[in-house]
């Protein structure tokens, strides 16, 4: 049976010692009163909820799964899920970072980010029910009419109602321009919507009174392709003028997907049969509103894998310290035992440290992204808002793809630490692997994220956002360049930062001659960019740790941070050299292969 301890110390380190979030918040009137003590107290209670309420339901929820009544189309979630959700609502957790105008507590996004990391560690399948609501809330908060906000946001903020995003159809996934769901205008300004959606996470359940579906559909006169997509609110139950629930709408679950993982979440096939809906935003401009939700979801999916990386590492570490197997190659370490604990073996340590480095680097990146979002939304200086939004846009595909690739690799390595026991259900490790696998696929596959990063975010704006991040790296290099104790952390990022400029320019020129060159290089390019970002944050974390040690702080946490950073730069960061070489190999060996793929 696995265990979980919320990593509060590391969260506090990242927020308060590396990013100094309380000082950042002082510049934002909305969060000016937010201090370290409040943040720590909230997350301590959030950690208790994650560890004590939903973590015990993770294995049982996976084993039981969700059940669909074909006659009524009702979905029953695993035992304990509904009761846990009631405690979540009772504790005020849905409102944590929501707008006070709609009943929210108005806390910074970075606090909600850390809370959700802990919930994802505890139970990703359960956490997806309230998690998707945040994305739907954000889309309506940004693009909804005043009437729509009044009707839906209070209930979504309180957690009484949940939300979904209904994009995918049986014949199309990422290519939403192929979508067929139709929306017919009605005399009263509403629409009647008909179509079929698949892979809709939390699409039907028994945990909340109503489900607010955000549905992409086409108007009768819509242009072809992605430019003809509109977004609609389609509630499970109709909402009366006084806010109470009315009759059932024509949207229901026609089937549940049988999946590799996240069994506790209802991944629904949604049938939309002449359902009532209202338009969100402008006709044929649905992707503008949906991207608010999709970007939130992409950051959330990265956070899901961060959570799984952490919990997998914790359990593998505990097992490696306890499990005895053979003797150390350098001599007996546990003389009172018939064999040494497997943690003495170098490759076991490599797997454990890989997971630890990916968890700590991922936490720094995820917290920084959330802080950027706070600044984009609430900083009084328009230039700061714009700059924060541009850097966050650059980092979003890295958060989604790099963290989920790393998370799956880390979960698999941690399973490997257990040997044969890792393949057995009772230890919980195989579930972490299965659950982690979906995160690389949904909300835009990681290849799509790579194309977005290289094609749109970097080459599309001539590298402007990348240059802004490069200036951050350059500032750190200039600050610590003569510090010998920082050399092992600074030199690698200084070198890679210089290489990235040449590397990006080279790929841009090749892409102008043959667009397939961008497609062939994109996945490798994203991992290189991911390592540059991780390297920057590990250097900043090492900087703080070295200063604490120099000041006489004997807390072993700082030595541990330095050792993890050294491992990362020695064993993981060098992957960039291979990746740049394979990216430069070009598209010919991929595309000129008719005989090989005949």
User: What is the tens place of the pLDDT at every residue in 433-475?
Assistant: 999 999 999 999 999 999 999 999 999 999 999 999 999 999 9
Q: What pLDDT is attached to residue 447?
A: 98
Residue 298 falls within a domain, yes or no? no
Question: Tens digits of per-residue pLDDT, 25-77?
Answer: 999 999 999 999 999 999 999 999 999 999 999 999 999 999 999 999 999 99
The answer to whether 33 touches 52, Cβ cutoff 8 Å, is no
Specify the pLDDT at position 425.
95
Q: What is the mean pLDDT of residues 412-425?
A: 97
Sign for the pseudo-dihedral over CA of 526, 133, 376, 227: positive
pLDDT for residue 287 is more than 90: no
- Domain at 41, CATH number: 1.10.540.10
- Please write the tens of the pLDDT for every residue from 561-596: 999 999 999 999 999 999 999 999 999 999 999 999
| Residue 257 pLDDT | 98
- Predicted local confidence at residue 412, as pLDDT: 98
* pLDDT exceeds 90 at position 292: no
Residue at 47 is within a domain: yes
Residue pair 284/230 in contact by the 8 Å Cβ criterion? yes
d(CA 547, CA 234): 54
**Residue 398 and residue 305 in contact, taking contact as beta carbons nearer than 8 Å:** no
Of 258, 285, 312, which residue constitutes the final position of a domain? 285
Burial (Cβ within 10 Å: 0-12, 13-18, ≥19) of residue 285: middle
139/168 same-domain check: no
Considering the domain architecture, whether residues 462 and 570 belong to the same structural domain is answered as yes
Name the nearest CA neighbour of 13 among 299, 363, 315. 363
Active-site option among 204, 443, 480, 517? 443
Asked whether residue 296 carries a pLDDT value surpassing 90, the answer given is no
With a pLDDT cut of 70, the percent of the chain lying above it is 100
pLDDT digit string, tens, across residues 156-197: 999 999 999 999 999 998 888 899 999 999 999 999 999 999
Query: Which residues 6+ apart lie within 8 Å of 262 measured at CB?
Result: 124, 125, 128, 201, 434, 435, 438
Let me know whether 218 and 266 are in one domain. Answer: yes
Q: Provide the residue range defining the domain that includes 549.
A: 454-591
Has residue 544 been placed in a domain? yes
Cα–Cα distance for residue pair 325/336, rounded to 1 Å: 14
367 pLDDT band (50/70/90 cuts)?
Answer: very high
Quick check: is 495 in a domain? Answer: yes
Residue 288: what pLDDT? 86
Exposure of 25 by Cβ count < 10 A (0-12 exposed, 13-18 middle, 19+ buried)?
buried
What token pair was written down for 193? 């919507």
The neighbouring-strand residues paired with 2 are: none
Is residue 360 a part of any domain in this protein?
Answer: no
The per-residue pLDDT for range 497-536, each reduced to its tens digit, is 999 999 999 999 999 999 999 999 999 999 999 999 999 9
Paired with 218 in beta bridges are 182
Q: List, for residues 318-327, the tens digit of each pLDDT value.
A: 999 999 999 9
Q: Tell me which residue of 234, 316, 338, 309 sits closest to 278, measured CA to CA.
A: 234
* Shared-domain flag, residues 92 and 39: yes
What letter would DSSP give residue 345?
S
> Would you call 283 exposed, middle or buried from its count of C-beta atoms within 10 A (0-12, 13-18, 19+)?
middle
Which of 285, 312, 345 is a domain's end point? 285
**Residue 41: CB atoms within 10 Å:** 11
Would you say 339 and 327 are in contact if contact means Cβ atoms under 8 Å apart? yes
pLDDT at position 309 is 98
Of 584, 562, 558, residue with least CA distance to 17? 558
Residue 238 has pLDDT above 90, yes or no: yes
The 10s digit of each residue's pLDDT in 136-146 is: 999 999 999 99
Residue 130 shares a structural domain with residue 22: yes
CATH classification of the domain holding 174 = 2.40.110.20
Residues 172 and 110 placed together within one structural domain of the fold = no
pLDDT reported for residue 174: 82
- Residue 291 confidence class, pLDDT cut points 50, 70, 90: confident
Let me know if residue 416 belongs to a domain.
no
pTM: 0.98
- Same domain for 253 and 170, yes or no, is yes
Q: Let me know whether 138 and 211 are in one domain.
A: no
- What does the longest C-alpha to C-alpha distance in the chain come to? 84
Residue from 522, 399, 378 nearest 453 by CA: 522
Cβ pair 328, 345 in contact under 8 A: yes
Q: Do residues 166 and 112 share a domain?
A: no
Residues 132 and 236 in one domain: no
pLDDT for 335 equals: 95
pLDDT for position 493: 98
pLDDT digits (tens, 9 = 90+) for 199-220: 999 999 999 999 999 999 999 9
Q: Is 380 exposed, middle or buried (0-12, 13-18, 19+ CB in 10 A)?
A: exposed
One domain for residues 36 and 82: yes
Q: Is position 542 within any domain?
A: yes
pLDDT tens across 80-132, in order?
999 999 999 999 999 999 999 999 999 999 999 999 999 999 999 999 999 99
Q: Per the domain annotation, does 325 fall within a domain? A: no
Instruction: With cut-offs at 50, 70 and 90, classify the pLDDT of residue 317.
Output: very high
Between 109-143 and 146-158, two packed helices, what is the crossing angle to 10 degrees? 150
Q: Say how far apart CA 432 and CA 261 lie, in whole Å.
A: 9
Residue 52 a catalytic site member:
no
- Domain identity same for 260 and 231: yes
Number of structural domains (the chain) is 3
């Amino acid at each position: 049976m696995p265990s979980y301890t919320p990593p509060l110390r590391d969260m506090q380190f990242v927020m308060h010692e590396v990013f100094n979030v309380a000082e950042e918040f002082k510049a934002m009137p909305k969060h000016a009163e937010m201090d370290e003590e409040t943040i720590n107290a909230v997350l301590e209670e959030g950690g208790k909820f994650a560890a004590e309420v939903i973590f015990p339901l993770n294995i049982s929820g996976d084993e039981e799964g969700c059940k669909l009544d074909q006659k009524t189309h009702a979905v029953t979630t695993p035992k304990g899920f509904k009761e846990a959700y009631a405690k979540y609502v009772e504790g005020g957790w849905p409102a944590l970072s929501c707008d006070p105008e709609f009943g929210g507590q108005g806390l910074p996004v970075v606090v909600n980010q850390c809370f959700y990391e802990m919930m994802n560690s505890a139970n990703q399948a359960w956490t997806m029910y309230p998690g998707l609501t945040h994305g739907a809330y954000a889309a309506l908060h940004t693009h909804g009419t005043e009437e729509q906000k009044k009707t839906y946001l209070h209930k979504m903020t309180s957690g009484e109602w949940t939300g979904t995003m209904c994009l995918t159809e049986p014949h199309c996934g990422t290519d939403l321009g192929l979508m067929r769901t139709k929306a017919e205008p009605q005399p009263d300004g509403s629409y009647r919507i008909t179509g079929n959606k698949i892979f809709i996470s939390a699409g039907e359940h028994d945990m909340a009174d109503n489900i607010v579906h955000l549905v992409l559909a086409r108007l009768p006169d819509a242009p072809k392709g992605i430019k003809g997509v509109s977004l609609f609110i389609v509630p499970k139950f109709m909402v009366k003028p006084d806010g109470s629930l009315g009759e059932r709408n024509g949207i229901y679950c026609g089937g549940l997907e049988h999946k590799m993982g996240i069994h506790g979440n209802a991944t629904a096939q949604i049938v939309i049969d002449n359902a009532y809906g209202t338009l969100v935003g402008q006709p044929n401009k649905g992707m503008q509103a949906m991207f608010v939700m999709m970007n939130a979801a992409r950051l959330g999916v990265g956070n899901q894998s961060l959570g799984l990386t952490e919990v997998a590492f914790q359990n593998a570490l505990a097992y490696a310290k306890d499990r005895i197997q053979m003797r150390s190659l350098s001599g007996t370490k546990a003389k009172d035992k018939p064999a040494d604990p497997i943690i003495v073996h170098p490759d076991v340590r490599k797997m454990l440290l890989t997971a630890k480095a990916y968890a700590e680097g991922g936490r720094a990146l995820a917290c920084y992204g959330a802080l950027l979002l706070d600044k984009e939304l609430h900083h009084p200086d328009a230039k700061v808002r714009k700059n924060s939004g541009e850097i966050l846009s650059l980092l979003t595909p890295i958060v989604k793809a790099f963290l989920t690739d790393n998370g799956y690799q880390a979960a698999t390595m941690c399973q490997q630490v257990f040997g044969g026991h890792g393949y057995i259900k009772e230890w919980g490790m195989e579930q972490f692997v299965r659950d982690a696998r979906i995160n690389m696929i949904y909300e835009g596959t990681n290849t799509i994220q790579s194309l977005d990063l290289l094609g749109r975010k970097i080459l599309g704006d001539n590298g402007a956002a990348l240059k802004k991040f490069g200036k951050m790296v350059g500032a750190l290099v200039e600050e610590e360049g003569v510090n010998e104790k920082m050399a092992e952390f600074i030199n690698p990022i200084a070198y890679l930062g210089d290489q990235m400029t040449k590397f990006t320019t080279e790929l841009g020129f090749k892409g102008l001659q043959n667009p397939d060159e961008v497609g062939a290089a994109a996945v490798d390019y994203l991992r290189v960019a991911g390592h540059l970002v991780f390297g920057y944050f590990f250097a900043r974390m090492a900087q703080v740790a070295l200063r604490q040690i120099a000041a006489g702080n004997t807390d072993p946490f700082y030595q541990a941070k330095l050792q993890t950073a050294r491992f990362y730069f020695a064993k993981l960061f060098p992957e960039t050299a291979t990746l740049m070489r394979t990216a430069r190999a070009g598209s010919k060996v991929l595309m000129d292969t008719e005989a090989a793929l005949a």
